[in-house]
Amino acid sequence: MKSIAFPKMFNSTSTNIVEDHDATQSNLNTLLLSEKNEMLGDPYFGVGLRRYLFDQNNSIMDDMLIDDIYTAIAWFIPQLVVRRTDIKLVHSRQNLYCTIRGTNQLNFKTDMYDVVLLRNEGENSVV
């Protein structure tokens, strides 16, 4: 599978393309960090994290967020097979990370994908 490299999509003469694991990681980042009604032409694309931003941080909210992530992946990234139990949310102070374990149907390889959902701007740490 190939995908356009985001956010560095273009260089001086061509379009930057990523493949395989990097393409799936790029597609997951785009999907999970998009709001609904943000994509022109597909109003249902995205997860809509903004509506959870100021809610209480508890296990019920985590379950609702995992449900939304699972549904979005199943709907918009069909080449990645994920079980709901393979989606984990990691809270670290003001940061929120999502770890997804899934099987890519193009090469039947199981990989881990990490997505930074929320990050405190003062920190430069990576998952």
Read off the pLDDT of residues 91-102 as tens digits, 9 standing for 90 and up. Answer: 887 788 999 999
Report domain extents, the chain. 2-118
pLDDT of residue 66: 93
pTM for the model stands at 0.82
Read off the pLDDT of residues 12-70 as tens digits, 9 standing for 90 and up. Answer: 888 888 888 888 898 899 899 889 888 888 888 989 888 877 777 778 888 999 999 99
Confidence band (pLDDT; 50, 70, 90) for 8?
confident
pLDDT of residue 124: 54
Q: Which residues contact 40 (CB under 8 A, 6 or more apart)?
A: none
102: which 2 tokens?
């899934």
Rounded Cα distance between 39 and 55, Å, is 25
pLDDT of residue 127: 47
The CATH fold assigned to 2-118 is: Nuclear Transport Factor 2; Chain: A, (3.10.450)
